[in-house]
Structure 1
């Protein structure tokens, strides 16, 4: 866990917690029942982690059984684009409110 201190001194610091791999999958699984906005991203992240685990247990000369990495990555890309577009729209609305 780390503390991020914003440049703007009127903003409070943010504690940031980071996990990757299996530890992230455990955290996502535990948090998933409480998610509303990021539910689909969490589901895709868990699918990607399942593919990673399957790949670990598969010889490098053959693809993991039942994996469709291309479709999972395509869905992940679409989710990223959707979130970025939502962020842009929100920033645009904030900008128009400030005028």
Structure 2
């Protein structure tokens, strides 16, 4: 089940960092796209919380997010999201290059 925005209150700094990433939009609170491609969203089920974050062309492994997340874990979460953002930008650019007339 997708997390509601009010369940992400302890991630305000992380969300602000995600919003600053190049090409990222947030069409609904807590749901992020990179261009027209879904990039990141949050889930909560049976007391567990995680983020699904694209990593290149596909979804990467879920990122577990503790309920009582500390500052160090928030920093690491944003670092991981930034890394996957770069991987996804690279994959999207390669896909666009393959689709150009006369490419490859």
What TM-score range do you get, normalising by the shorter chain?
A: 0.3 to 0.5
Relative to total residues, which structure has the larger helix share, 1 or 2?
1
TM-score after normalising by structure 1: 0.41
Relative to total residues, which structure has the larger strand share, 1 or 2?
2
Looking at CA atoms only, which structure, 1 or 2, has the larger radius of gyration? 1
Larger relative CO (CA 8 A, sep 6+): 1 or 2?
Answer: 2
TM-score after normalising by structure 2: 0.39
